[in-house]
A = this chain, B = another copy of it.
């Protein structure tokens, strides 16, 4: 048993508390330092969790005991804080999306090689036990050649929006559920089906709340190998998370009871996964056992493992950038009236803008 990897956490809001509680269940990592701009927040955090509060970021980044930092700061701050951490030689875990803009996403990806660090982007949905079981079945060849993947992630958020909520505004929350929920499923599709090369998307605004943002989105996806994918996201209905994989030998369907989302270690109790096998049993379904798992513990442990071994994590910056690029390409497709948009187009343009801005600076 190696000693736990010691970590700091920056940004001490609601989500930080979820991650700290998850961290406390792991033997492989230990959060030893926390920072928030507001002194009251960091003092309350220190009292509640018995974790030392850093008086400023430099203090945390100067602490040689701290090998990596967890960022739960607003999306616009992902890159600036990640860069500061990387310059101090700290590995970085950041919540999804990788960054607020694709340019910042590109810059975060570049930190890895430049500073010899590992970056983990918290696309936790990839670690849901049903997704893991489907991925393992695909890798064992049980589904045969995959043809289609359908996914949906929806909830009622748009019915409750007010102008006080940042999600009300197009600039901060582009595409509504597209940037907030669908992004998880673009990553799930990439996890299960490999590289996504094109998207086309439709959006609509139906909530009576009157927010700026669209509250419905549906996106079609083409994978590099010709498979098709679909990601739907409705922001005005009861919550659902589902993924269905269509293969030549079998079909698998995973569905999560959304009411358990905040208690990942109980998700398996009210979720379901079935397989419908080919030829000798079309239409016959077998319910599979879903093991208990905790995607938040798992993503933090994967961060600790990347730090300890130097290995590229599955929740990599590259994967995080691809999911953000799918969202941006879908937004562009909506702007262009549903035209097909290549992910390479939006990523290449973001890289070009980063190069131009670097030269200009």
Contact = CB atoms under 8 A, between A and B. Distances in A.
A326 interface: no
Contacts of A232: 148, 150, 228, 230
Interface of A: 145, 147-148, 150, 152, 154-156, 159, 200-207, 215-218, 220, 222, 226-230, 232, 234, 236-240, 244, 246-248, 250-251, 257-261, 270, 276-279, 281-285, 337-340
Contacts of A281: 238
Copies of this chain present: 2
A228 B147 CA distance: 23
A276 B238 contact: yes
B277 A238 contact: yes
A156 B238 contact: no
A313 B116 CA distance: 70
A270 B284 CA distance: 9
Nearest to A160: B279
Given A276-B238, A338-B200, A258 B230 contact: no
A279 to B, nearest CB: 8
A155 B230 CA distance: 18
B227 A237 contact: no
A102 B227 CA distance: 29
B282 A218 contact: no
B246 A251 contact: no
Contacts of A247: 237
Contacts of A207: 248
A201 to B, nearest CB: 8
Contacts of A202: 200, 220, 222, 228
A204 B282 CA distance: 22
A279 B157 CA distance: 11
Contacts of A284: 259
A236 B283 contact: no
B236 A145 contact: yes
A211 to B, nearest CB: 14
Contact of A282 (B234, B238, B282): B238
B246 A227 contact: no
A248 B239 contact: no
15 contacts: A148-B232, A154-B251, A156-B282, A159-B248, A202-B220, A218-B220, A228-B232, A237-B250, A238-B250, A238-B251, A238-B277, A257-B285, A270-B283, A338-B339, A338-B340
Contacts of A152: 150, 244
Given A145-B206, A150-B232, 17 more contacts: A147-B215, A147-B216, A148-B216, A154-B246, A200-B200, A202-B220, A203-B228, A218-B220, A220-B338, A230-B232, A237-B246, A237-B248, A238-B250, A239-B282, A258-B283, A261-B283, A337-B340
